[in-house]
Structure 1
Amino acid sequence: MTVELQEKPLHADLEAALGAARAAGLPYAGSVTPQQAWALHQAGEAVLVDVRTSEERKFVGHVPDTLHVAWATGTSLTRNPRFVRELEAKTGKAAAVLLLCRSGNRSAQAAEAAAKAGFVHVFNVAEGFEGELDDAGRRGLRNGWRFHGLPWVQD
């Protein structure tokens, strides 16, 4: 099932992210905060796609009512060679797409690959689901989707 959104002007938050990305020379449309991603997803302004592994989604938790296309699979995080095709099948290339991973690193790589494949408005969700590592090497205590108290569920 393709979720393709109709061609319409981008939300102001996405336009701002796009402008910042162009100024920084990013190869994809830019980044949004977890709070912006949730608001955009809820308002139907963008499609939220989790690019973590199925195992991460199951055992760590995931955002309800979102799509899943793994950027990499397994414990060795082997790159999914079908990522771009699977993403296109679920969202279409013209939709505003927000990619979410654990910390914002894999989703930035996925956004770059999608942009190179012709996706027009593909954005990274900065901080990711669990956030950056803190000084003790733990996630979830500094930033990220869960840290900000945004909706999530666990299987």
Structure 2
Amino acid sequence: MTVDILEKPLHADLAAAHEAAQAAGLPYAGSVTPRQAWNLHQSGEAVLVDVRTAEEHRFVGHVPDTLHVAWATGTSLTRNPRFVRELEAKTGKQATVLLLCRSGNRSAQAAEAAAKAGFAHVFNVSEGFEGDLDASGQRGRQNGWRFHDLPWKQD
């Protein structure tokens, strides 16, 4: 079954994510895994946008050939009041957008803000770039973009 929120059928992964989001009552279109996000980005089905700080993007690493719009800035993670405007300027409100942060938490907040601003097809990348904290308080050992050995680079 496909969900038609784009005036054309969604890719099966996006349709399933959207259906799950509706069932869960999420305020945005849904969540996809890092591997799904990479495949959707590579196939041109969606635009991948990193919403981490400029410092994280540069020093921790980032996905090549993607966009960057910070949800928050600096080490104090001060909310970027221009986030929605900057996202719209780079993608347009009708694009299928996948938002990526460190663990999937900030990108979910950013997806909610974008959805409230009229982005109908904005999805969160679950697990994020570095993944969840493990029992030792470290990231990257159980999930996340880098854990799945997906393409990334560092400046």
Fold match by TM threshold 0.5: yes
How far has the Cα of 1:94 moved from its partner? 0.8
- SS of 1:48 mapped into structure 2: strand
The yes-or-no answer on 1:22 pairing with 2:25 is no
Instruction: Classify 1:65/1:7 alpha carbon distance in 2 versus 1 (closer, same or farther; 3 Å).
Output: farther
Q: Map of 1:4-153 to 2, 5 A cutoff?
A: 8-153=8-153
Structure 1 moving runs of 4+ over 3 Å = none
Amino acid at match of 1:49: V
Aligned equivalents of 1:28, 1:77: Cα separation in 2: 22
User: What SS class does the counterpart of residue 39 from structure 2 fall into?
Assistant: helix
Kindly provide the amino acid, as one letter, of the partner of residue 125 in structure 1: V
TM, length-normalised to structure 1: 0.95
Deviations, residues 14-40 of structure 1 (Å, cap 9, x unaligned): 011000000000000010000000000
Partners of 2:45 and 2:23 lie apart in 1 by 23
Shift of 1:10: 1.5
CA contact (8 A) 1:7 1:94 kept: no
Displacement after TM superposition at 1:9 (Å) = 2.5
Deviations 1:116-154 (A, max 9, x none): 000010000000000000000000001000000000000
Q: Which runs of 5+ in 2 are unaligned?
A: 1-5
RMSD: 1.0
**Partner amino acid for 2:123?**
F
SS of match in other structure, 1:120: coil
Taking the aligned partners of 1:62 and 1:111, their CA distance within structure 2 comes to 19
Cα deviation, 1:51-89, whole Å, max 9, x if unaligned, reads: 000100111000000000000000000000000000000
Unaligned 5+ segments in structure 1 are: 1-5
What amino acid maps onto 2:31 in structure 1?
S
